[in-house]
Structure formats: C-alpha cells, structure tokens
Structure 1
C-alpha cells in the first residue's frame, strides 16, 4: 500500500469522524470547538510521530539493504572458496576410492569366471563312483558285469 493512499484514507476518516462528532456532540458549541481544537492538535502530533517512525523505518531498511549488498557477496565468495578447498582436499581420496572400486570389480569378474569355469568342468566330467569301501566297490563291479 502506498503511503499517500494511507494518508488520504486517514484524512477522509478524520473528516468523517469530525463531522459525526459535531452532529452528535452533547456539548455546547464553545466546548465542542475547544475539544475539536485539542483533538486536532493531538492528531497532528500523532501524525508527525507516525511520519518520523516511517522515516526511521525507511532509513533502517536502506541501511540493511546496503549491508546485505556488501556481505552477501563476501559470504558467497567464502562458501565458494571453502567448497573448492574441500574438493581439492578430497580429490586424492576420491581417486583412491575409484581405484579400489575398480580392483573390487576386477576381482568379482575373476571370481565369476573361475566359478563359471569350475561349473563347466564339473558338467564335462563323467560320473565315477569313488571306491571307499572295497566291498561296495566289488558289488559295483559285479553289478556292472552282470
């Protein structure tokens, strides 16, 4: 809301209040004029105080704006520098981790190849009974010849 609109509304309200007060006043004319005069003086003082506070508020806002214009870029520069130094500090660790991950992947691939080769070798082997018990081995020989 614009300040001029505020004051225009305030003035219109004062005028309407004054007229209403005059028309409904239970006082005599002389008392009413004195009352209106003192009310007008009080309102004038109140408006001057309000105007001074608004001026102080504007000055405060302008001051904060100026400070933020100076401090925000400094803070951003500091953050950028911190981020860059952190990245530089973690770069060796990052490279080391990438090498470790690559080594683990290679080991996994070798294990998979070995397991696959072992499975293929097992599938190609003919099944031969192992003769642990000589009696069973003799029985197996007899059953094979029969």
Structure 2
C-alpha cells in the first residue's frame, strides 16, 4: 500500500465524517460555522504533524540506508578476515589430526593382518 493512497483515504474518511457530524447535529448556523472552522484548523494541524512525521521517517530511513551501505561491507570483510585467521590458527591441529588418523588406520590394518595371520 502506498503512503499517498493511505493518506488520501484518511483525508476522505475525515471529510466524510465531518460532513456527517455537521448534518446530524442540532446546532445553529453560526455554531456550525465555528465548528467547521475549528475542525478545519485541527485537521490542518493534524495533517501538518503527519506530514512532518512522514518526512522524519523518510530521513531516518535514508540515514539508516546510508549507514548500512558504509558499515555492512566493513563488517563482512571483518568476518571474512576472522574466518581466515581461524583457518590459519587451526591448520596445524588439522594436519596433526590427519596424521593421527592415518596412524590409527595403519595400526588397525596391521592389527587385522596380525589377527588374520594368527588365525591361520
């Protein structure tokens, strides 16, 4: 839903409600004119406040977008660098574990051969 469509609907609903109230109240002409002027002034103030808040929201969103464009690439690069550092720091352990696994596999093969030789 577009903001302009929303505000158009809001304005239309407000005008329709104001007209309905004006025709359903048992007031004199001068009282109605005073009420209409007061409602018009209130509506203008409310609409001005809404417009100001929408502009503030737009500004906040654009600031957040700009900040994200500046911050996110640096954060991603930092994460990549941390991952590379982790890989480098764990590389000796990985190599050691691979050697130990190879030694265990060799020991198991030797054990299987020894058992097979004793069973014959």
TM-score (norm 1): 0.79
Q: Where does residue 52 of structure 1 map in the other structure?
A: 52
Measure how far apart 1:23 and its partner are: 1.4
Measure how far apart 1:105 and its partner are: 0.5
Q: What does 1:54-133 align with in structure 2 at a 5 Å threshold?
A: 54-120=54-120
Measure how far apart 1:68 and its partner are: 0.7
Structure 2 residue runs without a partner (length 5+): none
Q: Give the Cα separation in 1 of the matches to 2:18 and 2:99.
A: 87
Measure how far apart 1:22 and its partner are: 2.1
Measure how far apart 1:24 and its partner are: 0.6
Higher helix share: 2
Q: Which moved more, 1:93-102 or 1:17-26?
A: 17-26
Measure how far apart 1:7 and its partner are: 2.1
| Cα RMSD (Å) | 0.9
Q: Where does residue 4 of structure 2 map in the other structure?
A: 4
Structure 1 residue runs without a partner (length 5+): 121-146
Moved over 2 A (4+): none
TM-score (norm 2): 0.95
Q: Relative contact order (alpha carbons < 8 A, sep ≥ 6): 1 or 2 greater?
A: 2
